[in-house]
A = this chain, B = another copy of it.
Amino acid sequence: MTHVPHAAPGKITKLNRVERNAWTKQKIFDAATKVVGKYGYAEASVARITEEAGVAQGTFYNHFESRQELLEQLLPKIGLDMVRFIHARTGTAHTARQEIERFSAFFDFILEVPEFLRILNEAEFFAPIGYQKHFDNISTAYVRILRRARQAGAIIDFSDEEFEAIVQMLMGARGYLSRRYSYAEGKVTAPPAHVISAYRKLVTRGLFNATKDNGHER
């Protein structure tokens, strides 16, 4: 399922109060996504957001307690879209292949929702609560996936704690790669093929050859 901003209600449809209310809130939300995606959290003033949404500044506070409250909701909400998107694109087995699919789907999602990248990367500092929430969501799900792969025999000799660390690494890899390869002056582009292949190699056989001296005894 892809992320689609809610279409404006058709002119024919008469909205009742509840619907109008939800629609206004959604307009603000969409505007915020757009503004943060384009200018970043720091420049996402209430004035800018409401202007983009086409409502008065005061209206904002009929729907959100504060600017911060809205900002905190941004990432978790889009994050769910991402999870669904990736899930839909991933096979049901538990092998490395599916991990590569997830990896690729992440970049596909970025292309679909170009605001996501900036929202994701900046949230840590500007919307820490939302960031935490999002990260917990992702992290939990990811660890579960790895556990299943271990049960299926596709992964061996990793403890649960190590899985947690691994998830951080894989998330970090995605984050940094997306910054490096998917940005081009505000535009979002697909990562080159060697990024995918490098990831596959790292994940399927590591970086260094197996040797007797693998730093273990440190």
Please state if A208 and B96 are interface contacts (CB–CB under 8 Å): yes
Task: Out of B100, B173, B192, name the residue touching A215 (CB < 8 Å).
Answer: B100
In the bound complex, what is the Cα–Cα distance between A93 and B211 (angstroms)? 13
Nearest-CB residue, chain B, relative to A205: B206
Select the residue from A176, A195, A215, A216 with max chain B CB neighbours within 10 A.
A215
In the bound complex, what is the Cα–Cα distance between A95 and B216 (angstroms)? 12
Please state if B214 and A204 are interface contacts (CB–CB under 8 Å): yes
Please state if A176 and B169 are interface contacts (CB–CB under 8 Å): yes
- Decide if A161 is an interface residue (CB 8 Å cutoff): yes
Q: Which of A139-194 contact B (CB under 8 A)?
A: 146, 149, 153-159, 161-163, 165-166, 168-177, 179-181, 192, 194
Nearest-CB residue, chain B, relative to A208: B96
Residues of B within 8 Å of A96, CB to CB, are: 207-209, 211, 213-215
In the assembled complex, 12 residue pairs joining A and B whose CB atoms fall closer than 8 Å, in A order, are A95-B213, A96-B214, A99-B208, A104-B218, A162-B197, A162-B201, A168-B180, A169-B169, A169-B198, A171-B172, A172-B176, A202-B202
